[in-house]
Structure 1
C-alpha cells in the first residue's frame, strides 16, 4: 500500500471548495495523471455517485471506476477500483477565516502481483502529490474565480 498526504490552503470559502471537489469529474483540472473522468450516473451528487476515470501513469493508461463513499460538509471520500488496484482519495476540509485548508490523502492498494511493485512506485506517487499541490489551487481559482486581493479594490 502507498499513502501520500498533502495539505493545501485555498483562498476560497469551504462550501465553495467542497462543492467543486465533490464532483470527481473535476479531477481532469487538478490531477496531472487524469486524462478523462466522466460521470456514470445523473442527478444530484450523493453517496453512490460514480465516475469512470482514465489516467496515465508511467506511460501506461489505466481505468478505474470511482464511487463517492462519503459526502459530508467537511469530508469527501472517493474509492476507485479496477482488477489491479483500489485507490482512495480522502479530502478533509477546515475553514480558516475566508480560506479553506484541504488535507488530501491518496491511498493506493495493489492486488495480486502488482503488490510487489508498490515499494518501487512510492517515489512516483510522491511526485504526483507534489504536482497536485500545485495544480489544485490553480484549478480552484479558475473554477471559482480569482481569490480576493485583500485590498478591496479592483484591477
Structure 2
C-alpha cells in the first residue's frame, strides 16, 4: 500500500497476514495527526487454558533443518486437567478445536518456543456423516442390483 501527501509518496508496509511475526503498528500520517494501524488475525478466546510444559526439536544430522518438533502441553479446564503431546502430523483435538504444531523459533535470549496453529471447526463430524451416507447408499444400490440379477 502507499500513502501520498502533497505530491510526496510515502510507503506504508503491509504485513503478510499469514506470517504475523511483526505486530508493530505502522504510522499513517494524515492532516489531523499520526494514526497507527496493524494487521492481525481476529482473536477468539479459548474456553480453556493451554500451557506449554516442554518443547523439543530434533535436527537432521549436520544441518539446521528440523527433523521433528513437539510440544508437551497441559489443557486446563474448570473441571479437569490433562496432559497432551502435539507434534508434526499429529494434532491435538479437543471438542471443536484442533491444535497443529505449526513451527518453532528461537527468541533473542536463545530460548526455543513453539508456534501452534489453532482451527475451530464446529462441523468437523459432517464429512464423516457424509461419507457414511454415501457408503450406505452405494451398499443399498449394489445389493438391489444383485437381487435384480438373481430374479432374471
Is TM-score (shorter-chain normalized) higher than 0.5? no
TM-score by length of 2: 0.25
- Higher relative CO (CA 8 A, sep ≥ 6), structure 1 or 2? 1
Task: Tell me which structure has the larger Cα radius of gyration.
Answer: 2
- Structure with a larger share of its residues in helix: 1
TM-score by length of 1: 0.24
